Amino acid sequence: MRLPQLGELGQRRLAASRVAVIGAGGLGAPVLSYLAAAGVGSLTVFDPDVVDATNLHRQVLFTAADVGRSKAVAAGEHLRAQNPDLSVTAVVEAVTPTTALEQLNGHDLVLDGTDNFPTRYLVSDACELLDVPLVWGSILAFAGQVSVFWGAGGRGVTYRDVHPVPPRPGEVPSCAEAGVLGMLCGVIGSTMAMEAVKVIAGMGDVLYGRLALYDALSARWDELPIARDPQRPPVTRIEDIAVTCGLPGPTAPGTDEVEPDELPALLAAGTRVLDIRESSELADGMVRGAEHVPMGRLLDPAEADDPELAPQGLDGAVLYCAAGTRSASTQRVLSERGIRVRSLRGGFAAARGSGIELVSVQRSEADRPGQHGSDASS
């Protein structure tokens, strides 16, 4: 209240605002905590996942007692304890192409702290259609990025102007696979919360048309100017790009997991084991007897005409990726299609660490989709 740039008017604007936060993970935790403490009147928290013990180093809104609980529900309870006057709506489901516009409509501001590209494009497109400002943040290892996107009726910059083409499945690792330092989440998440307060209160120089880049190892902020691509057509509908760029996935484990030491017996019994990594990831080899089917191909509905990828051929198969994240996501997507598969806990890294027999893969063979690991050895 004593800050002239904010003052009583700014505080009233915060109290009257309705804000949606997509993801209650590493970025969502500080975002939610600071917005609740700042006096934002209403928060909607979207997160379909549960708290996992491996999340706690970076998702500081939760405690060990929350492990196994819904992130959205647990976050709501902690935020109400922090600010009893706060109205919190916990949504234990993902924002989807069919529900995004309805779910986000009526909010004054949206913050996206997710770690997968389909949701990032989806939320940006929905905000452009609804003409709602979007505070966006991203983290990986020791680096972070923050910006504020706003379509502004075709005049402003959105996520698609900065990243017009989604990456291919497996091209960019998730935090669960590449790692992230917990304190980085605090830096970027707090910056996102600061930008949100600036947008709502109407103060300061908001990060419109600017991309802030943070390097934790050098403690240095850099900035890139960004502009709307005049050749980009405006968004007119919500597009589902989950198949084309894949799902780095939830931070929680798969719903039906196989332990690495169970894999040899399953292979001996004739269970299909699918390596869903990209060809570029096979330099360290494959599990002997596994088949290479990249995630994008596995999730492509058009591939269902292939007898090997038909639902009856996939049922009961075990999937593995680099660290278990993408296989858990793929398992969930296939489950929604009525196909039961299992995910290898810890992925290829766990298989290699447990002494499971591996085979090396030649690049020319690795580029052939659906190749058996035992046939692709050099």
Catalytic annotation, pick one of 127, 175, 185, 245? 175
Note whether 117 and 172 are within 8 A (CB): yes
Active site (annotated) includes residue 175: yes
pLDDT in the model for residue 317:
95
What are the pLDDT digits (tens) for 301-333? 777 778 888 888 899 999 998 878 788 878 888
Confidence label for 372 from pLDDT (cuts 50, 70 and 90)? very low
pLDDT in the model for residue 295:
83
Closest-CA residue to 189 (of 22, 328, 317): 22
Mean pLDDT of 46-75: 92
* Least confident residue range of 44-53, 163-172, 266-275: 163-172
Catalytic annotation, pick one of 127, 185, 245, 321? 321
pTM for the complete prediction?
Answer: 0.68
Closest-CA residue to 319 (of 271, 374, 365, 376): 271
Active site (annotated) includes residue 245: no
Note whether 73 and 119 are within 8 A (CB): no
Residue 251 has pLDDT above 60, yes or no: no
pLDDT in the model for residue 240:
73
Q: Encoding tokens for residue 39?
A: 């006096």
Q: Chain-wide mean pLDDT for the chain?
A: 86
Long-range pairs of 356-361 with CB within 8 A, sequence gap ≥ 24: 356/260, 356/263, 356/264, 356/287, 356/288, 357/264, 357/287, 357/288, 358/284, 358/285, 358/286, 358/287, 358/288, 359/285, 359/286, 359/287, 359/288, 360/285, 361/282, 361/283, 361/285, 361/286, 361/292
pLDDT in the model for residue 371:
43
